[in-house]
Structure 1
Amino acid sequence: MTTIAVTGATGQLGHYVIEQLKQKVAANSIVALVRNPAKAAALGVTARQADYAQADALETALTGVNTLVLISSSEVGQRAQQHSNVIQAAKNTGVQHIIYTSLLHADTSPLSLAEEHRTTEAELKASGLTYTILRNGWYTENYLGSVGAALEHGALIGSAGQGRIASATREDFAAAIVAVATSTGHANATYELAGDSAWTLSDLATEVSKQSGKTVVYNNLPEAEYAKALAGFGLPEGLAQAIASWDVGASQGALFSDDKSLSKLIGRPTTPLATAVERALNA
C-alpha cells in the first residue's frame, strides 16, 4: 500500500489536501505530519509529530512513507534550511517521491519569497529522489481577508496598481496536489499553477461592491505608505513591508500567468473570483 504523508497537515492548505486525499485513497494510507498530533485528531488520519526544524524527528515521522507532500514552511527566512531537513530525512528513510509547493515562476520571480523556493527546487533536483514541483500562484484568500475592512471603510488599499493577479483558491491548489499524488506521469515535472482568469484589485473592489451593495473603491498607495498602513493595523513591521513589496511585484506582473496547468490537473475550471468573494461575504 502506498503511504502518502503531508507536512503542515493542519495548516490552511494542508487540511484541504487531507480532506481531498480521503476522497481518493483509503484514510489508513494517509499520514498527517504536524507539530502537535493532538490538534490533528479531527483530520481522521494517522498523525505523526514532525517539525521542519527537527531533523531526527523527521526521520521517525517519514518511516514507511512512499510519497511526501512537502508544503512549504510558513517561516519565511528559515524555509531553505527547514526544507533541506525534510529532503534529507526523506532520502534517509526511503521516500520515493516528493511533491513540493513552490512559487509561481520561482526561477524568475522578483518577489522576496522566491529565493528560498529556488534553493529548495535546486536541492530537490540534486537529491536523486523523484520529485514534482508545483509552483503555486497567489491564493485568492490572501486578499479576501481585507474584505471586512474594505466594507467598513469603503476602500480597498494596496500597491498592486493594475497588475493582474491569476489567483486560485486553496481548495484548487490542494486538488492539484492530490491529482499528482494519486496519479502517474508527473515524475520530475515542474508545473506553473495559476487561476484561469486574472483580476486586478480594482476588479476585486468592484466585485465586493456588486455583491455587498456597498460602494468599495480601490486606492492604490505608494509602497512605503501601504506598508505603514499595514503596520498601523497591527502587522509586524517586517511583514508589512514584505506584503507591500509583494503588491509592487504584482504590479510588475509577478502574480500573472496564462498557463492553464492548474485547471488541466484538477479536471475543472479554477474557482472564479466572484465565487470566492461570495463565500467570503457569507462567512
Structure 2
Amino acid sequence: MKQFSGMRKLPLTITGLATGSLIYLLLASHQPSWGHVAPDSLGHDPGQRLAQASRRRNYVPPARSTAPRRATSLGTRGGLCESSSTANQEPILPSARFSVMTVAPQTHIGQTASTRPTLTWYIAEDNPYPVELQLYRYTSSDPTDSQLERVEFFDVGLSQPGWMTFTLPTSLPPLNVGETYRWKVIVKCSESQPSRNKIDEADLQVVPSPPGMGTTGEPVQQAEQYGAAGLWYDAIAALSHTPVSPAAAACRNELVGDLAELAAQEAKDPNDVFSLLSDRLRYIANSD
C-alpha cells in the first residue's frame, strides 16, 4: 500500500477533466433507503441479505446523510489500461474488473472531521501508470447545485496494485468546515491519449470534530470511534497508515464490506449501478 503526503503540485495548465461517466445515476432526487433489500448479482436471497444487514456495522452513515451531488461514477472509462496479469486472472467477482476505485461512500456523501483529510483508493492495475489527484470545491451550499471550482491538482507518482492513499499537504490551505468537495483519481494510461485514462471520483463533506474523537487508542479503536460517528474518511484513514497491522487490515476490510452492504440495499436489480458498486467493494474487501 503506497502512501503519499504533500507531493509536488502539477502546473496550472493541466486540462482535460472528465466530469462525465459511462454509468450515470441521478442521485440528487434519490435518498438512501437503508432498509431496502433486493437480490444481488451473486444470487443472495433477501433472507440472507437481511442477516448480513443485521450484523453490527463498523461504519454507520451520518443520520442526515445526503446523496452525492453528481452521478455515481464507478470508474469513468472503466476497465483496465491494457492487458496485464490482472486481466488474465479471473477476479473474485467477474464484474469487479476495474483500474481504479475511490474507497468512499457513493450512496451518500462521506464525511470527515479533518481539514486535511487522507484520501484512499484502490488500484487493480498490475502495471505502473502516472496517477493524478484532483480536488474541487462545490461553489454553493445548495445540495442541488453541482458546479465545481478547482482547488488543486497533485501528481502522486506511479500507481501500484492495491491500496493507495494521499494526505492533503500543509502547503494547501485547510478545507473549510461545512463545505463539500469532490476529489478525483486519474490513472494516466496514455499521456498522448487522455481519452484512455481511467477515472473515479467521490464527494466529501468537512464537519466539526466531535470532542475527543480518535485522539487515543490503537488504530482499530480510533476507526471504530470514527465509524460509529459517521466519519468515513477518518475511519478508513486510521487503518491505512503504513505499516498496516493484520488487525487494522481486517477492520479496514470490514469497513469496505459495510459500504458493499449499503450499496446492495440500494440495488433494484442484479445489473444496476448499485449492484456493480457492491460487487467491486466486495472484491476490494476480499483482496488482502
Calculate the TM-score normalised by the size of structure 2.
0.22
Question: 1 or 2 for the larger relative contact order (CA 8 Å, sep ≥6)?
Answer: 2
Calculate the TM-score normalised by the size of structure 1.
0.23
Larger radius of gyration: 1
Instruction: Indicate the structure with greater strand content.
Output: 2
